[in-house]
Structure 1
């Protein structure tokens, strides 16, 4: 991470200052309309943060307390492991009892709680769209001056690879065929049932799942890269729970998240080994039974161990991108060698029907349909539970690759490009299967319903060059399977650890541990009834994750309101002060565009011009009875101290004018020769969320003083505006206030 991308953190006012040039006199007493500042500070640590300044305590509050910045979270590890092991032992020892019990629980949930799953997914979709399309959509997942790490194409490709598993291949044939033979609202095998068959599977793999991924991904990325917190769910809930996320409450959150993730990944792995065992049987004649499936689970564990011990984690990205090209080649092959005209027409019609019926389908609970709750439990509710369980897993990966993107860009890309890819894949495979059934191949239709894995490979055998297509499909499925297993173990390791650096991962031994435990759970569910039992378990264990989704939305909206208040305050300051070019002559402005000083020149300017200006301003304030100090903070990256003028404002938000050196690329056009340098240092003014966007280098001391005065005057104007309109915002306060009595305009 370059120094330009480092989020700016203001020193904790409770800690002793080091390197300050002046000691600050005692701050003036708080206004009569508030309780004592000391009393509020005494209780501050026991409640959630209410201001952006208090949010800055998050990284220290959530720090693991380990020199390496990584510590295994033993309560989370042990309790989660105990839950998963207990379930696995039960399923292995009493498979019939486990299957029947889970079937009964799912039937009850579908009949009584299914509406809650549907409502949750609907609210998540509305929430992520509201955030993306609001003013908050302009906020970046990182400081304001950060920029994306990956190109748009690579990033979108990685989005798709992260959220698609081998289960899509499994259900792309089984789903449409079953919806045609056994529809919930239409007459079986009717023309209307055929029109709706593929669209229902598109719906299950469409917007809803990606909205859940987008919610958790943008929330984790925002708190990690904009506020410097760990990349975890408990960090996302810090604005809502405060320091309690470190204790039992935070452990409970991580346990729910981790257990749901393990069951989601295990379900995908179970579906994968069932499908791959059939593929290997077609290719090399391996028996497609439980023994082969267990062997494939063991292969996933071995591959995870190899990745951990050989340092090939970057291969996950390469495998994911390769898999996209293989899937694209497979779809194109079917389009060209299959019923091309029918498939293209069906794709257009199905996508159109998907879009036009999406609102009604999203809130459909089948309340008035006979057997509706049973159908919902086997299809829609299972998929919603699947996406909820996979949400933290995929969300963390999406956050890791999206630093520097705006929230709007992140959400719009996540719910459009990958969804469109999903729709095309489902439409091609689903309509190819429907074409066979509509042509009278009833035996194939019955096979696809009774044995989805057999039905999928039976479809591939109908195309020219079937051996090549089956080999390509099996390779694609294997890559999907191994990627999910490997990256899933990595995410589980992270969720059971406390990690301060968002770019770091949990211990490798812990990743191996979770790979083995997930393998045990997968085998247990295969023994207890196969794919159906996995669906039941996912639906049951994803229910607590819905509560996490609501908490994430509440917490994220709270901190976005804080930041919106801060942006509005800065906007008002800029209106008053006219920041950036204020006071510069036209020659100074032209010179700054064409010259890019060395680090030595920048350090000398900071010491000889900016520091004396800040000291002079602070001294003048103290002459007028206002406490003020200039603080210095060393920067090991640039070697140039950051300077901050701090003026305490009692109960209101302190005035801070901070200047830090940041790196910027030298423009290729319009500047003098750089003598081989690619970047230079700028002395920029910062707020809590990043750079204000202008460089002080080249100003005179009087011009710097004028800029400080403009900022100070604008800060006072903003605070007075808040008081005059009785609209004190989070950004205008250093601490929450308690109003003792109404204050009229004259008293104010």
Structure 2
């Protein structure tokens, strides 16, 4: 399973903190918490005992059961996997296919333009930095493990046809690409899309249960929501434990080659303790910069290894094979995706490969999806899905083609002993391949160092994400308590050790197939929740398209001369001018509309007030509409750096303000400052009529939508649709 090599602090602390540093302050209003009050900077995350307790008990019970009764555990797990493979193999394969179709359909549809954040939000990272982080998310120690072991195994024992033939060799890398390809990344894209959409567009918690809000409403805070988060926890910890187990056995062999450390349980326990200690140190003292630099070094070392094998090996053959693999993968993708081998089912092969990989991807989906969402605020859904499905996979494709075909070349060259080692002792496969090249000791040292960093940062990141999943966190940029992170690092280590004692990596793979089932059901609910909310997005777009331009078109209409219009265009008002306009024009206009709405029986709330860190105040008009989404009209000062082309008459101030209009999906992108009082009133009415048109277009949708829940959002959910985006 591909995994994040980014350090935990960057995944959920560094990136999260960076997002918080760049993200806007919440809108400061006098509204009650249920209407979307800002999050206090002093609030700290709290443990969600209804998720933490059952998850902890269940996982520790399984770990100790495996340690105390390994024979019984191995028998039970084996029986369960056999049942799942025989009766639910079709379900895993169909689920993987549906996820691929769903994310591509959403990205290609008109709602693909919807942003993971407010409409006015901008990407936090440049295209290069963003794609580089997506690329880094595709590298992990398991990629080193399977890049040699799987192609060789598929060559000797393909799912169909004879092994040890040229056709088997041709398809061996293609099957590996299939298991590491677009299908798995579609699962990551689904979870990242759900996290980013609900957390950054609606300021809901960075939690899986948020995606179910459109389906069951406030019940996500009860047993249903707890069950969803618990299912995610069980899948996630087994997915992480599988990766750590793979890392343990591979690194154990690497240490034996380099330093003579014997393979066995003692060395593996020491490596697990190392991961736990590193996660603990990282949680307590923080080593952001150190791990971040090592992680960046990790990526370069991995690329260097790949280039070295390409240059010192049969370069022309490897490049030919790369192109051939791409063609075979693309031409055979649809058939491989839906291939259940119904007439000649290789159960052992399915359990060891396709079913295991799909369950593993599902288990890792919340983990990596959270990381992808953290770095993608401000991107459109279309950009997010397209990049997630292509950027990491392009690297994986090249990596697998280089190392997989190099291994096959060794086997086809007559070195059957190497092939048998790679197939029967996969933890030795990568090192055995490096032994075939000049400078093998140095190559193996680099591989061990690279794998160790992948191993430690995965353990660290995993414990942090699990602490987040078992906490109540109002601010999406914050993470779970440190002690909880330490607990989950210890629990993951215990689970990894228990499964290794039962039967090694094979048992971890079997357990992952079982534990991936509950969360696969959650993925269907997430797709349904996203579908419902995105239908509402489409209705909102239609309402804006069918409404008259109104005051916006008339902002420089007959009440203004062309000289006044020009003067407004060349004006860059400071805080005093913006505040004066608010006091003398904007606020009185909004107050008149509020008074008239109240006179006509509407439930109206009007709030004005200062904003922390901003020299101007804001005004918010909210009209409660019973069970439908409330109407919100907010005039909010957005600070900008004064452009170099501004007239010198603006003085020495280096900042200016725009008074932008915000609704529940963000800024509408235009500046009110300079409108007359009548024009402001007309603009409020225009927006109100657009909102009513939106309600009309979406009234046939059954159930509540994410947009419709702001009226009954609980106090600890910060649903504030008019969050400003910093534009400095």
3-state DSSP class of the match of 2:669? strand
Question: CA deviation digits over 1:194-216, x for unaligned, max 9?
Answer: 11000000110011111111101
1:700 matches 2:676: yes
1:122 matches 2:93: no
1:606 matches 2:582: yes
Matches for 1:45-60 after TM superposition, within 5 Å:
none
Question: CA deviation digits over 1:452-498, x for unaligned, max 9?
Answer: 12122110011111122111111211111111100000001111111
Which residue number in structure 2 is paired with residue 164 of structure 1?
139
3-state DSSP class of the match of 1:200? helix
**Residue of structure 2 aligned with 1:274, choices 236, 241, 249:** 249
**1:167 offset after TM fit, Å?**
0.9
Point out the more displaced range, 338-347 or 103-112.
Answer: 103-112
1:482 matches 2:452: no
Question: CA deviation digits over 1:323-380, x for unaligned, max 9?
Answer: 22111111111101111000011011101211121111111111122x4232111100
**1:310 offset after TM fit, Å?**
1.6
Instruction: For 1:645 and 1:241, locate their aligned partners in 2 and report how far apart those are by CA, in whole Å.
Output: 28
Pick the structure with greater CA Rg. 1
3-state DSSP class of the match of 2:619? strand
Contact 2:30 2:607 in 1 (8 A): no
**Residue of structure 1 aligned with 2:511, choices 513, 533, 537:** 537
Quickly say closer, same or farther: Cα 1:544–1:673, change in 2 above 3 A.
Answer: farther
**Residue of structure 2 aligned with 1:200, choices 169, 172, 175:** 175
**Residue of structure 2 aligned with 1:459, choices 433, 456, 480:** 433
Which residue number in structure 2 is paired with residue 303 of structure 1?
278
**1:418 offset after TM fit, Å?**
0.2
**Residue of structure 2 aligned with 1:213, choices 168, 174, 188:** 188
**Residue of structure 2 aligned with 1:526, choices 497, 500, 503:** 500
Instruction: For 2:491 and 2:22, locate their aligned partners in 1 and report how far apart those are by CA, in whole Å.
Output: 40
Instruction: For 1:386 and 1:396, locate their aligned partners in 2 and report how far apart those are by CA, in whole Å.
Output: 16
Which residue number in structure 1 is paired with residue 724 of structure 2?
none
Which residue number in structure 1 is paired with residue 8 of structure 2?
none
Quickly say closer, same or farther: Cα 1:612–1:380, change in 2 above 3 A.
Answer: same
Which residue number in structure 2 is paired with residue 551 of structure 1?
525
Contact 2:107 2:381 in 1 (8 A): yes
Instruction: For 1:565 and 1:69, locate their aligned partners in 2 and report how far apart those are by CA, in whole Å.
Output: 37
Which residue number in structure 2 is paired with residue 72 of structure 1?
47
Instruction: For 2:374 and 2:238, locate their aligned partners in 1 and report how far apart those are by CA, in whole Å.
Output: 22
Instruction: For 1:715 and 1:105, locate their aligned partners in 2 and report how far apart those are by CA, in whole Å.
Output: 53
Matches for 1:646-665 after TM superposition, within 5 Å:
646=622, 656-665=632-641
Instruction: For 2:601 and 2:436, locate their aligned partners in 1 and report how far apart those are by CA, in whole Å.
Output: 88
**1:590 offset after TM fit, Å?**
3.7
Quickly say closer, same or farther: Cα 1:465–1:244, change in 2 above 3 A.
Answer: same
Which residue number in structure 1 is paired with residue 112 of structure 2?
137
**1:633 offset after TM fit, Å?**
4.4
Point out the more displaced range, 530-539 or 78-87.
Answer: 78-87
**Residue of structure 1 aligned with 2:302, choices 321, 324, 327:** 327
Instruction: For 1:221 and 1:595, locate their aligned partners in 2 and report how far apart those are by CA, in whole Å.
Output: 37
Which residue number in structure 1 is paired with residue 3 of structure 2?
none
Contact 1:628 1:646 in 2 (8 A): yes
Contact 1:217 1:399 in 2 (8 A): yes
Contact 1:493 1:514 in 2 (8 A): yes
**Residue of structure 1 aligned with 2:317, choices 336, 342, 351:** 342
Which residue number in structure 2 is paired with residue 396 of structure 1?
370
Instruction: For 2:37 and 2:381, locate their aligned partners in 1 and report how far apart those are by CA, in whole Å.
Output: 21
User: How many equivalent residue pairs?
Assistant: 689
Instruction: For 2:377 and 2:691, locate their aligned partners in 1 and report how far apart those are by CA, in whole Å.
Output: 30
Which residue number in structure 2 is paired with residue 289 of structure 1?
264
Contact 1:602 1:697 in 2 (8 A): yes
**1:676 offset after TM fit, Å?**
6.6
Which residue number in structure 2 is paired with residue 101 of structure 1?
76
1:438 matches 2:434: no
Question: CA deviation digits over 1:26-80, x for unaligned, max 9?
Answer: xxxxxxxxxxxxxxxxxxxxxxxxxxxxxx86899xx9x9972411112322211
Instruction: For 2:649 and 2:300, locate their aligned partners in 1 and report how far apart those are by CA, in whole Å.
Output: 43
Instruction: For 1:546 and 1:621, locate their aligned partners in 2 and report how far apart those are by CA, in whole Å.
Output: 48
3-state DSSP class of the match of 1:503? coil
Pairwise CA RMSD of aligned residues? 3.1
1:87 matches 2:87: no
Quickly say closer, same or farther: Cα 1:533–1:242, change in 2 above 3 A.
Answer: same
Point out the more displaced range, 348-357 or 318-327.
Answer: 318-327
**Residue of structure 1 aligned with 2:573, choices 597, 603, 628:** 597
Which residue number in structure 2 is paired with residue 364 of structure 1?
339
TM-score, normalised with respect to structure 2: 0.88
Contact 1:216 1:391 in 2 (8 A): yes
Quickly say closer, same or farther: Cα 1:681–1:577, change in 2 above 3 A.
Answer: closer
3-state DSSP class of the match of 2:137? helix
**Residue of structure 2 aligned with 1:155, choices 130, 140, 161:** 130
Instruction: For 1:626 and 1:536, locate their aligned partners in 2 and report how far apart those are by CA, in whole Å.
Output: 59
3-state DSSP class of the match of 1:186? coil
Instruction: For 2:41 and 2:503, locate their aligned partners in 1 and report how far apart those are by CA, in whole Å.
Output: 44
**1:441 offset after TM fit, Å?**
0.8
TM-score, normalised with respect to structure 1: 0.86
3-state DSSP class of the match of 1:528? helix
**1:701 offset after TM fit, Å?**
2.8
Question: CA deviation digits over 1:615-658, x for unaligned, max 9?
Answer: 34445667788786743244223243322345667887665432
Quickly say closer, same or farther: Cα 1:728–1:268, change in 2 above 3 A.
Answer: closer
Which residue number in structure 1 is paired with residue 380 of structure 2?
406
Quickly say closer, same or farther: Cα 1:426–1:57, change in 2 above 3 A.
Answer: farther
1:667 matches 2:660: no
**1:222 offset after TM fit, Å?**
1.2
Instruction: For 2:440 and 2:171, locate their aligned partners in 1 and report how far apart those are by CA, in whole Å.
Output: 29
Question: CA deviation digits over 1:641-693, x for unaligned, max 9?
Answer: 32234566788766543211122343344665876755432111111100111
